[in-house]
Structure 1
Amino acid sequence: MASEYVERASRLPGAVVWTKGAVARTGAGTGDGEAGPAGLVLPDGCMDLLWTEGRLLVAGPDTRAFRPGPGLRGPWAGVRFRPGAAPALLGVPAHELRDRRTDLADLRPGAEVRRLTERIDAAPDPAAALEDLALRLAAEARPEDPLLRAVVAALAAGRSVAATAEAVGLGERQLHRRSLTAFGYGPKTLARILRMQRALALARSGVPLAETAARTGYADQAHLARDVRELAGLPVTSLLSR
């Protein structure tokens, strides 16, 4: 049975369904995404709803690389929400879950979570059952604020925090407060994380690091290397070699 990381687009707009370990049965596509080298999870601005047998958890937004400990080895299924989408579904501000893996029972009634966990444990395809749960949470939640997507798009395109605030019609302090609730950290941190992800994707496609740095808004290759090491905890060359 497959043990690699596998992902596919979700029926929930903007989300990704992924599996890692023996539960991976879909074969719908592979990517680096949540897996990272040797189980390392890199910051990406997202939050995930997670299942492993007997447990439902939420992965909060990371400001640094996360390496699963002995109690978090899986196998796993997950739904990765686009940046800013999960707090409305879960009813909790993103900053309260920053750099944490939290049992869903800490956020929702315990009896409900036990029933949901048992249902997903018993499902022939736990990833599909977890996706059904995510779709149900989305249907019950208030509509996603389109402003959040505009913020992410502007920062991902390399616009400054000031330019992003102006583009969405907010003051910089308002943008910071809204970002803490939606993304778990301020827009400057989100911009760094999105830039690192753009740079890694470009470098993995074969673009030399010096050119990658120039095209993604770093001052130079050394700046790129420092930023990746601070966020990922590994040299950029080590990440790319794995």
Structure 2
Amino acid sequence: MGLEVESRPSDSPYIERVWRSTSHDVSRMTSIAAAHWDLVFWQHRGQVNVAVLGPESKASQALVPEDATFFGILFSLGTSMPHLPISGLVDGSAEIPDATRESFWLKGSSWRLPDYDNAEAFVRRMVREGVVERDPLVAAALDDASPDVSERTLQRRFVAATGLTRGAIRQIDRARRAAVLIQEGVPIQDVIHRLGYFDQPHLARSLTRYIGRTATRLRDRDPAEPLSLLYKT
């Protein structure tokens, strides 16, 4: 019962993670905040669906179709689709129409449906055909480099490439790290100290906003109310 999720990292600079899941006896989940955007494919009752899911600035409740299979490509920060400006997808999505069991249309071309094992080859084609691109300035800043531009320029490029400010991305990432540590059984005070929260109320507010769970509920996992993809970075 619940939402069974499997994921793996990728060696592609354009991909953060590749994931797949199936749903059984679950009708909704908590979709936690995410700085990355997804290209998601799912099948339900013989119908194939494709959508771009934008970054999520806060946790929310999402419906889950019964007995569905899902596959997604989570793109790295700084990667975007120029024909679908990411700023317009924050807390939203864009459906890609006319999908079949074998192919779908994207930016005027027919594409074979990718799968869990060939996601990298699929994204390489997206790069070659200019469907996705990566801002090297944002990528460098995320690797703790010091780009030779003003802070204002850097913030503008962050919002253009990710849809979120650099500060919001850091807060989301910290809350996700805290949730993983708590699920692993790390004491609350250690989580606060490791991740730089002021105190326990500060951590609690962050978890509520970005994860949609209290520390107690994170420890007492309920398969009837699953979380979306939460992985250790």
- Is the TM value for this pair above 0.5? yes
Amino acid at match of 1:104: I
Contact 1:42 1:64 in 2 (8 A): yes
Task: Confirm whether residue 217 of structure 1 aligns to residue 207 of structure 2.
Answer: no
Shift of residue 84, structure 1, vs aligned partner: 1.9
Task: Confirm whether residue 81 of structure 1 aligns to residue 82 of structure 2.
Answer: no
Gaps of 5+ in 1: 23-37, 155-163
* TM-score, normalised by the number of residues in structure 1: 0.71
Mean CA deviation greater in 93-102 or 9-18: 9-18
Amino acid at match of 1:60: G
Gaps of 5+ in 2: 99-103, 222-233
Q: Distance in 2 between matches of 1:210 and 1:6?
A: 30
Residue 112 of structure 1: aligned partner: 105
Amino acid at match of 1:94: I
Contact 2:90 2:163 in 1 (8 A): yes
TM-aligned CA distance change 1:240 to 1:169, over 3 Å: farther
Task: Confirm whether residue 48 of structure 1 aligns to residue 45 of structure 2.
Answer: no
For the residue of structure 2 that corresponds to 1:19, the secondary structure is: strand
Residue 91 of structure 1: aligned partner: 83
After superposition, residues 131-142 of structure 1 pair within 5 angstroms as: 132-141=121-130
Q: Distance in 2 between matches of 1:45 and 1:72?
A: 27
Overall identity of the aligned pairs, in %:
27
Amino acid at match of 2:12: L
Residue 179 of structure 1: aligned partner: 158
* TM-score, normalised by the number of residues in structure 2: 0.74
Shift of residue 90, structure 1, vs aligned partner: 5.2
Question: Counting strand residues as a fraction of each chain, which structure ranks higher?
Answer: 2
CA RMSD across the alignment: 3.1
Query: Larger RCO: Structure 1 or Structure 2 (Cα < 8 Å, ≥ 6 residues apart)?
Result: 2
Residue 16 of structure 1: aligned partner: 17
Question: Counting helix residues as a fraction of each chain, which structure ranks higher?
Answer: 1
2:62 to 58, 61, 68: 68
Residue 146 of structure 1: aligned partner: 136
- CA offsets 1:155-205 (integer angstroms, 9 cap, x no match): xxxxxxxxx8xx333333222211111111111111111111222233333
